[in-house]
Chain A
Amino acid sequence: MTTFVKSFVPSNRSEWSSRATFVAVAILFLFVFPAWLSDSRLDLMASYVTYAIVALGIAIAWGNGGMLVLGQGLFFGLGAYCVGMYLALVEVGGAPNLPQFMTLLGSQETLPALWEPFNNVWFALSAAVIVPVTLATILGTLIFRSRIRGPYFAILTQALAGAFAILLIGNITLINGTNGITTSFSEIFGLSLFEPADQRVLYTIVVIVLGIAFLLSRQMLKSRYGRLLLAVRDAEDRVRFLGYSATKIKVIAFATAAGLAGVGGALFVLVGPKIISPASVGIIPSITMVVWVAVGGRASLAGAIAGAILVNTAEFEISSAAPEYWLYFQGALFIGVVAFAPKGLAGAATWLKEKVTSRGSSSTTSTSKTAEEAA
């Protein structure tokens, strides 16, 4: 019991400061943004927060595990479609009524068997996590056991996301192909997706989920497992010849990233534009997700969150001012980060912090630095 209590008491100064930062950021998201942003901007911010959850997973798999996951759109899409199907059924009063697009297309007589279970909100929500995690576990086991890594792994994941998008586009009668699944009226747990007051509640829920996901991910990276993940990234053979299964270690990180992408996708359809279509799951969105994390600092969880939110905010601002320039800006940003700041925003923050603290006291040790990088 005492060790349980002790585990909540920070052991050193850097731990206190990271806790203070966490509380400050939580206040910013939970109170400052809702008071400051308009209804529509807050709803948009909610969708960025769901992206941040996806980014956490990429920071774990890529930043810490060295696996460049270029196909997170696949897992994001699976999560989003699971919940999207539920929403489309709610819109028409639940099964056995057909979702609107099926009635319009006149393609189905009765509700397809695939859709049936998604009438249940708990089934839809758990499937949004379980399906991506299971798929990633199977794929990961096959991929890592055959020692596929580096660029080959990256290309493979990218191809999977591309194939998934093509599969969706080809399935017009079942999941509405290119148009995807969208609702103009729907609700979950009595919260309307289109009422500003309810949207604010959904925003708060999404932020809290991000907070929990961050704390759990942080715990994971600080554990021995987290150290092993770094070890696999840097010297996989050494890990194997210490008696560990490198495959198992990598599969866990890959599946965790897939699960977080699924959670992000599931929440994504509840906020923002309330649509999931092949356009948000294919190769380009998957690469965009990696760009957020590269900008934020690939190994840092806090950096991944900051990257996802800042890059998307910048995209919104720049696109609304001058739509034709955003892609150039994004490209320049990515090249700039890769060339001049490989540790991204998180690296810049650490550098600044060290400059400030070294002026006060020069006792910053390299261990506290690595601990911060992991957080």
Chain B
Amino acid sequence: MTTEPFLIDELLKIRGLEVDFDGFKAVDGVDLDVRLNEVHFLIGPNGAGKTTVIDCVTGMTKPTDGSILFDDVQLRGKRENAIVKMGIGRTFQTASVFEALTVEENLDLAASFRFSMLKLLRQRRGTTEAVERALEDTGLTDVRHKEAGTLSHGQKQWLEIGMLLCQDPKLLLLDEPVAGMSPEERTRTGDLIRLTAERCTVLCVEHDMDFLRRFADRVTVMDEGKILKPASTVAEVQADERVQEIYIGKGRGIEEKAEEAST
């Protein structure tokens, strides 16, 4: 473990997080620090509890123990929508967009999240700057009037990230953003995340090692609900024998898995 300087701002500070699903400890005493403006990856085999950690941060799952500090404010016990309004956005493993609405309407709803109910009852006229910028960032300008349900898998992921960008979050949680994507789509998603990282802090759950190498500032490895290796650089993680072991233990090497994931 590297010695951490004191002066670096921790945007998200998780301590002793524990989630107990009827006796099964999905997350068991996890400590995690995400620094301001970094791209932090959370990796580990299936069932390691990565997504559950994200669910706890966003209020989707209630932890049984531990503390989650965001900007020094305790998130435990807060409602999902209150957490979003504090500046935390998330994507879902399977892109979740509003399929019956057009791309533009999807982005517009995301951008209007601070409107009062009275203001929401008014009809939309034109688009805001945030929506236009998100259309450009995600490269979805050409399909802005198409229903989101007709988009490809990759386009839906970009739309979802675009929706979150419209909200100008401080912390963005991405749950396997490149799963099931073609190589070209991966590259475009990477570019989008790089762009995202210029504006906010990113915590990303991902399996794809190649993707991780290209974009991660720091990596935390989880296994069976625990932290296997606390936040380290990509090189340190790849050199770690225990990390290699959990991947080899499942019958494959870390490189092998990366190859498989990127094809």
Residues on A lying within 8 angstroms of B by beta carbon are: 3, 7, 219-220, 222-225, 227-228, 230-231, 233-235, 237-238, 240-245, 248, 252, 365-367, 370
Contacts and interface: CB of A to CB of B under 8 A. Distances in A.
Give the residue among B96, B100, B122 with the most A Cβ atoms within 10 A: B100
Interface residues of B, number: 39
A366 B98 contact: no
Contacts of A241: 58, 60, 80-81, 84, 89-90
A225 B147 CA distance: 18
A342 B45 CA distance: 43
Contacts of A248: 117
A243 B97 contact: no
B115 A230 contact: no
Contacts of B112: 224
Q: Top 7 A-B pairs ranked by shortest CB distance?
A: A243-B84, A243-B113, A238-B96, A231-B98, A225-B120, A224-B120, A240-B80
B102 A238 contact: no
A7 B113 CA distance: 24
B120 A223 contact: yes
B145 A367 contact: yes
20 contacts: A224-B121, A224-B122, A224-B124, A225-B117, A225-B120, A228-B120, A233-B100, A235-B98, A237-B92, A238-B97, A240-B81, A241-B58, A241-B80, A241-B81, A241-B89, A243-B84, A243-B113, A243-B114, A243-B167, A366-B146
Contact of A242 (B99, B117, B120, B167): B167
A223 B98 contact: no
A219 B120 CA distance: 12
A227 B110 contact: no
A252 B117 CA distance: 10
Contacts of B113: 242-244
Contacts of A225: 117, 120-121
A370 B117 contact: no
B81 A224 contact: no
B133 interface: no
Given A235-B99, A365-B145, 18 more contacts: A3-B125, A224-B108, A224-B109, A224-B120, A225-B121, A234-B100, A235-B98, A237-B96, A238-B97, A241-B60, A242-B113, A242-B167, A243-B85, A243-B167, A252-B117, A366-B147, A367-B102, A367-B145
Contacts of B145: 365-367
Nearest to B110: A242
B182 to A, nearest CB: 24
A371 B80 CA distance: 31
A230 B98 CA distance: 8
B105 interface: yes
Contact of B115 (A224, A231, A240, A367): A224
Given A234-B100, A366-B145, A370-B147, A242 B163 contact: yes
B123 interface: yes
Given A237-B92, A242-B113, A370-B147, A222 B123 contact: yes
Contact of B109 (A3, A231, A252): A231
Given A222-B123, A242-B167, A243-B85, A370 B115 contact: no
Contacts of A230: 98, 100-101
B123 A219 contact: yes
A233 B147 CA distance: 15
Contacts of A227: 98, 101, 105, 108-109, 124
Contacts of A7: 123
A234 B109 CA distance: 14
Nearest to B96: A238
Contacts of B89: 241
A365 B110 CA distance: 24
A3 B123 CA distance: 12
Contacts of A238: 92, 96-98
Nearest to B119: A224
A371 B143 CA distance: 17
Contact of A235 (B97, B115, B119): B97
B163 to A, nearest CB: 7
A222 B122 CA distance: 8
Interface in B203-234: none
B9 to A, nearest CB: 24
A110 to B, nearest CB: 45
Give the residue among A220, A365, A370 with the most B Cβ atoms within 10 A: A370
Contacts of B121: 220, 223-225
B113 to A, nearest CB: 4
A242 B109 contact: yes
A103 B58 CA distance: 63
